[in-house]
């Protein structure tokens, strides 16, 4: 099974990698930042080892969703790889987080990839062109997403 790249997010954080890694993997700290603003996280459980699982609840108001995943790589303080999905749904994806010291802080790179069987050789022409076209189409049809 190969992965299709979906999105990559890069950030500079004002703390050293060890502290960032702790924030990514300690239940009480995870609860303070995971999820969009206004969405409260609770019941965070973490079994931090390859093959171990994590889960937490996100309260979106109309619904409380349980997210969970399994760790595939745990290499403190520089790398964390885990699957990701809604409990009960079969649609898992994979999150890869890489941390590199940058001065007194950390450069974080998060890759969120779908898990898809791919029968054809992947064309690496890039996603941006497609998304530009998709954006134009959605705007033209008046169904623009934000």
Partner 1 sequence: MFGALADGTRRAMLADLAVGESTVSRLASPHAMSLPAASKHIRVLERAGLVSRTIEGRVHRLSLRPDRLRDAAEWIAFYRRFWDESLDRLDEVLASFDDGVGETTDTGNAVDTGASAGDAP
* Alpha carbons 146 and 133: distance in angstroms, whole number: 15
Shortest distance (Å) from residue 44 CB to partner 1: 3
State how far the Cα of 12 lies from the Cα of 31, in Å rounded to an integer. Answer: 21
Q: Which residues contact 60 (CB under 8 A, 6 or more apart)?
A: 39
| R_g over Cα of the chain | 17
Least distance CB 77 / partner 1 (angstroms): 13
Taking the C-alpha atoms of residue 80 and residue 24, their distance in angstroms, rounded to an integer, is 9
Binder to partner 1 among 63, 112, 139, 142 (CB under 8 A)? 112
Binding mask 8-47 for partner 1 (x = CB under 8 A): -x-x-xxx---xx-xxx-xxxxxxxxxxxx--xxxxxx--
Binding interface with partner 1 (CB under 8 A): 4, 6-7, 9, 11, 13-15, 19-20, 22-24, 26-37, 40-45, 56, 108, 110, 112, 114, 116-120, 122-123, 125, 127, 129-131, 133-134, 137-138, 140-141, 143, 145-146
């Amino acid at each position: 099974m190969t992965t299709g790249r979906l999105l990559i997010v890069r950030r500079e954080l004002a703390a050293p990698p060890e502290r960032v890694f702790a924030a990514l993997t300690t239940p009480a700290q995870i609860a303070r930042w995971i999820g969009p603003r206004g969405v409260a996280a609770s019941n965070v459980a973490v079994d931090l080892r390859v093959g171990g699982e994590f889960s937490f609840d996100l309260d979106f108001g109309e619904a409380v969703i349980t997210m969970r995943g399994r760790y595939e790589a745990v290499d403190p303080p520089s790398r964390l790889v885990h699957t990701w999905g809604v409990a009960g749904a079969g649609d898992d994806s994979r999150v890869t987080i890489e941390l590199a010291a940058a001065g007194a802080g950390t450069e974080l790179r998060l890759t969120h990839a779908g898990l898809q069987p791919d029968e054809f050789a992947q064309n690496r022409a890039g996603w941006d062109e497609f998304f530009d076209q998709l954006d134009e189409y959605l705007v033209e049809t008046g169904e623009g997403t934000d």
